[in-house]
Amino acid sequence: MYWFLFSNLFKEVKLQRRLIFGGCLFTRKQFCDVSRKTDEILINQFKEKFFSSRLIKFTDQLDFVNDSGENALPVFRIIDNLGNVVNAEMIKAFSADLCLQMYKKMLLVHVVDEILYNAQRQGRISFYLTNDGEEATQIGSASALQADDLIYAQYRELGTLLWRDFPLQSLMDQCVGNADDLNKGRQMPVHYGSKELNVVTISSTLATQMPQAVGSAYAMKLRKQQNVVICYFGDGAASEGDCHAAFNFAGTLRCPVVFFCRNNGYAISTCSSEQYAGDGIGSRGPAYGLNTVRVDGNDVFAVHMATLHARQMALHCKPCLIEAITYRLGHHSTSDDSTAYRSAAEIQLWQKSNSPLARLRAFLFNNSLLDEEQEHSLQKTYRQEVLNSLILSEKKPKPEIETLFTDVYDQMTPRIQKQYNELKTALAALFCHLVHCHLVEFVSNQRWPSSRTLGNIFPQQSICNKQYKME
């Protein structure tokens, strides 16, 4: 009897346990379903609000992400450093005429550099920045653009202007700073610009052109123009705050802009390893929503193709970043001695094994598109043209003193007019003083000081001459 009672009790307890366990399973399933639905809602909210609709998931693993991986962004190229083709399909896009035109413009950049660098050393111009080693980044990218695409350059993009047939005479006028200089001598050499060629005048301060370029691109988007803006900058400029602001504006506003970074290894004297930790400049692009590619900056074909594809994406309001890996063979400027922070052996190694001009030359020679006689003839012609333009620029008068005060307002304000009058009076007095100080020399040589002596500040000369004769 006791056994029977115990057996029934055991069955009842077992049944209750099953009911409780089943209830728990049911409750747990309901809880899991609710939890999953809650997660899905949160994920959708997170995707839309924080992650631009990218797929995300929750995890119970605490892992920090870093850039310690061994694999960096790949470097795209079409020819190797010996001029041999490594991408037979893409090289077909380049006609013989285009290849020769690219080489001619790169050679012209080299000749201009050589002559103006020496001119600065001779005291004929005040300052210069060479493009040696970076010609392919300029010509390769410029040749992939349309003529009405807007260019924001930094200060090592001479080739972009020459590709658009910027006159050599205008180039020399700007570097000399004469009366025909578009800047009227108010800007230092190498600060070119051309409204007709859609090239915004270069400014000295690093990275300021970057948010400006994004603003221009946004205006194009609003106007529904079928053009893009290309903005050049160096690895040093990438360390400026304006760079990050520009990237963020471009990504969030979806502007038709192509950022082109010339990573030449040095921000003046600061090498790349001291500028940033991580995978170069290119790795920053995806974080800002930029379509990004890293390219061999000494391969003019690879640069051209990358820019061509980037332009097409930018036209559809998909901003892009191109990081061109190159090397600055020359000093930062004529004010710099790069051997103070890098070895001559390093420079020679890059010059010998990876010069963009030598690489394209080898390709042309390998494919019978150029020979030594043609090359020598081109060099001779370009050298004479550049020298003639420089000599003519030196013969031109300097800008009038008045230009120091014009082009700020449509008409001079009373305050500016007063300053101008004060300067004229001071210069007239200075001229008279010089006449008195050099009386013997002027009389013995039977000549008066030329207007060139003090930069065209005269009609005051006639007043001073009259006073001198009276005395």
Residue 9 lies in a domain: no
Per-residue pLDDT, 41: 64
Per-residue pLDDT, 454: 44
Strands 270-271, 266-267: pairing is antiparallel
Together in a domain, 325 and 272: yes
Together in a domain, 369 and 455: no
Together in a domain, 298 and 205: yes
Residue 418 lies in a domain: yes
Together in a domain, 127 and 44: no
Per-residue pLDDT, 468: 42
Pairwise CA distance, residues 16 & 12, whole Å: 6
Q: Where are the alpha helices (DSSP H) in 194-268?
A: 209-223, 241-253
Domain boundary among 395, 425, 441: 395
Angle between helices 356-366 and 300-315 (to 10 degrees): 100
Which residue range is the domain that position 124 belongs to?
90-395
Together in a domain, 391 and 406: no
Together in a domain, 389 and 408: no
Neighbours of 419 (CB within 10 A): 14
Per-residue pLDDT, 460: 43
151 to 148, 260, 385: CA distances (angstroms): 9, 11, 26
SS3 category, 136: helix
Contacts of 302 (CB under 8 A, 6+ apart): 76, 77, 78, 79, 140, 295, 296
Together in a domain, 215 and 155: yes
Residue 10 lies in a domain: no
Together in a domain, 126 and 262: yes
- CA 281 to centroid of chain Cα atoms: 13
CATH number at residue 184: 3.40.50.970
Per-residue pLDDT, 457: 44
Are 233 and 243 in contact by the 8 Å Cβ rule? The answer is yes
Pairwise CA distance, residues 263 & 265, whole Å: 6
Give per-residue burial for 146-165: e unless 16+ CB within 10 Å, then b.
Answer: eeebbbbbbbbbbbbbbbbe
Residue 289 lies in a domain: yes
- Record the tokens describing residue 283, joined without a space: 């790795």
Q: How does pLDDT run along the chain (471 residues), one tens digit per residue?
A: 555 544 555 556 555 556 555 555 555 555 455 556 666 766 676 666 677 777 778 888 888 877 666 788 999 999 999 999 999 999 999 999 999 999 999 999 999 999 999 999 999 999 999 999 999 999 999 999 999 999 999 999 999 999 999 999 999 999 999 999 999 999 999 999 999 999 999 999 999 999 999 999 999 999 999 999 999 999 999 999 999 999 999 999 999 999 999 999 999 999 998 999 889 999 999 999 999 999 999 999 999 999 999 999 999 999 999 999 999 999 999 999 999 999 999 999 999 999 999 999 999 999 999 999 999 999 999 999 999 999 999 999 999 989 999 988 999 999 999 999 999 999 888 888 877 776 655 555 555 555 444 444 444 444 444 444 433
- Record the tokens describing residue 386, joined without a space: 């550049």
Together in a domain, 32 and 167: no
Residue 179 lies in a domain: yes
Together in a domain, 268 and 415: no
Strand order in the sheet with 150-152: 199-200, 150-152, 229-234, 257-263, 320-325, 291-296
Domain boundary among 361, 395, 429: 395
Together in a domain, 34 and 182: no
- What residue has token string 């205006």? 219
Together in a domain, 384 and 444: no
Domain boundary among 377, 395, 413: 395
Are 329 and 349 in contact by the 8 Å Cβ rule? The answer is no
- Picking from 142, 96, 179, the residue whose alpha carbon sits closest to that of residue 303 is 142
Residue 2 lies in a domain: no
204 to 144, 156, 441: CA distances (angstroms): 26, 11, 42
Contacts of 405 (CB under 8 A, 6+ apart): 412, 416, 417, 419, 420
How many domains is the chain built from?
Answer: 3
Residue 78 lies in a domain: no
SS3 category, 258: strand
Pairwise CA distance, residues 319 & 290, whole Å: 5
First-to-final CA distance of the chain: 152
Rounded to 5 degrees, φ, ψ at 355 are -75, 130
Residue 80 lies in a domain: no
